[in-house]
Amino acid sequence: MDVLPFDLSVLFSEENLYSLMRAGIIAVVGYPVVFIVSRILGRLLKKRVSEHNIQLFTKITTIVGIILVTFTIMFEFGFNLTAFLGAAGIASVAIGFAAQTSLSNIISGIFVLWEKPFQVGDIIRIDDTMGVVLSIDLMSVKIKEFDNKYVRIPNENIIKNKLTNVTKFPIRRLDVFVGVSYKDDVEKVMRILSEVADKNPYSLDEPNPLIIFRDFGESSLDFLLGIWFQKDNYLKLKNSIMQDIKEAFDQEGITIPFPHRTLEVTEFPTDAKVN
């Protein structure tokens, strides 16, 4: 009969069984409590702080709670937490040297959270990427583009590159560039543009619409119509104002030109000599 290299009675001793039961109870009760407490704190802070600060606070609370519960379970099994924490500190230093990019993103994330250039729900543009902010974390910012693509942007890129917050302020200005024929009357065109802006339901009276005779283009007189609007009405204004301008110009006989090119063909004399 084979002899086991260790005594199973020691493994299943009364003391170890009690430790296993206590650890199981701590795990079954502790981890759910951590998530519940995190959610409750998030709801309590909802009316006091911004959404991205709530997300960050709940994530930190969850991580700290999980670590505490895990350490408590380890303590029940007799782990030497002092030695463990010492080894973890040495490992963290080694990992820090190996993960300089991650450390840079974390530092950049702290600056982003401190400066608050945007918050959850804002529409931002970073380089060629534009979308709605879903979350702001220490490592990265997650956004959803308008074609429903999920994009993760490292915080280091946000600090280094130009960032535009499209919805930072409650009102915005839509600039519409219009070209008309050289034969059209400038004052008439400006009057029509003013009337179009005044009649549009999404155009604000204050600030007043901006109308500028910009330039003499290659094939058109170029105008700028700047219309102020509430930021939530961007698409409604964009679609309606373009249609309003086209209809008003058609009714008033204003021509929207397109580029023309004139080609001249010269015939050489038949007796010409070619070198």
Pairwise CA distance, residues 59 & 64, whole Å: 9
pLDDT digits (tens, 9 = 90+) for 174-229: 999 999 999 999 999 999 999 999 999 999 989 999 999 999 988 899 999 999 99
pLDDT digits (tens, 9 = 90+) for 214-270: 999 888 999 999 999 998 899 899 989 999 999 999 999 999 887 666 667 666 566
> b/e string for 135-158 if b means 16 or more Cβ within 10 A?
ebbbebbbbeeeeeeeeebbbbbb
Which regions of the chain carry the CATH code 1.10.287.1260?
12-98
What are the tokens at 239?
């679609």
Which regions of the chain carry the CATH code 3.30.70.100?
171-252
| pLDDT (0 to 100) of residue 236 | 92
DSSP string of 185-248, one letter each residue: -HHHHHHHHHHHHHH-TTS-SSSPPEEEEEEE-SSSEEEEEEEEEEGGGHHHHHHHHHHHHHHH
DSSP string of 49-117, one letter each residue: S-HHHHHHHHHHHHHHHHHHHHHHHHHHTT--HHHHHHHHHHHHHHHHHHTHHHHHHHHHHHHHHHH-S
pLDDT digits (tens, 9 = 90+) for 49-99: 666 667 667 777 788 888 888 878 777 766 665 655 565 555 565 555 545
Pairwise CA distance, residues 95 & 110, whole Å: 20
pTM: 0.58
Which regions of the chain carry the CATH code 2.30.30.60?
117-165
Residues listed for the chain: 275
In this structure, CATH architecture of domain 171-252: 2-Layer Sandwich (3.30)
Estimate to the nearest angstrom the gap between the alpha carbon of 252 and the chain centroid. Answer: 43
| pLDDT (0 to 100) of residue 134 | 92
Pairwise CA distance, residues 139 & 155, whole Å: 6
| Mean pLDDT confidence for 17-42 | 79
Residue listed under structure tokens 């170890």:
16
In this structure, CATH architecture of domain 117-165: Roll (2.30)
In this structure, CATH architecture of domain 12-98: Orthogonal Bundle (1.10)
Pairwise CA distance, residues 52 & 42, whole Å: 11
